[in-house]
Amino acid sequence: MPPVTLALIVANVAMFFLQQAAPGLIYPLALWPWGAGAAGAPGFWPWQLVTYSFLHGGMLHLAFNMFALYMFGGAIEQVFGTRRYLTYYFVCVVSAALTQLVVMALANEIYPTVGASGGVFGLLLAYGIYFPNNRVFFLLIPFPIKARVFVFIYAAIELFLGVTGTQEGVAHFAHLGGLIGGALMLAYWRRGRLLRR
């Protein structure tokens, strides 16, 4: 497994067990909305734009994200290289956090957000772009489908669930924010390559 992907998985698993031993970690490290402190909840701090991605809401949440990180991250790290891969991943994490902050502000809701899903969704997008014809399994479809189709279907489902609010407790717009951050980063790199030609 490539080194950054391995390090991210180890860090997430270690933080999960630390979180179990010291549940109070969720208060300073989870992503809280702007103005939450005025409502009696822990307030927003800039480091939360990154630290929230190392916390998870349960073993299943952690397992799903780490499996996706292993499945898609390793391949993308080999394409991007260590430094660019790390930059891309955390751009997606921060983009997901900013999207979630905007959504919580518009909805006037106060609750913490945790999980690596924003970064994982960015990796999923990159995988669909760089390995479009690789076949992956999707839980709702009993046969493998092409990665680019998988990305489109998954994004459409996330948008539907986010707009309709039919699956509470999941930050669907944060997932989409990770996709958007990844798309912007890839477009920026592509534009830079075109300008150098």
pLDDT in tens, 108-140: 888 889 999 999 999 999 999 999 999 887 666
Distances (CA, A) of 40 to 57, 108, 168: 22, 14, 23
pTM of the model: 0.90
Phi first, then psi, for residue 109 (nearest 5°) are: -115, 145
Alpha-carbon gap, residue 173 to 15, rounded angstroms: 24
Percentage above 70 pLDDT, the chain? 91
Arithmetic mean of pLDDT, 47-57: 95
C-beta neighbour count of 118 within 10 angstroms: 35
Class of domain 3-196: mainly alpha
Domain spans of the chain, in order of start: 3-196
- Does residue 121 contact residue 72 with C-beta atoms inside 8 Å? no
- Please check the confidence at residue 141 and state whether its pLDDT lies above 70: no
- Does residue 138 contact residue 154 with C-beta atoms inside 8 Å? yes
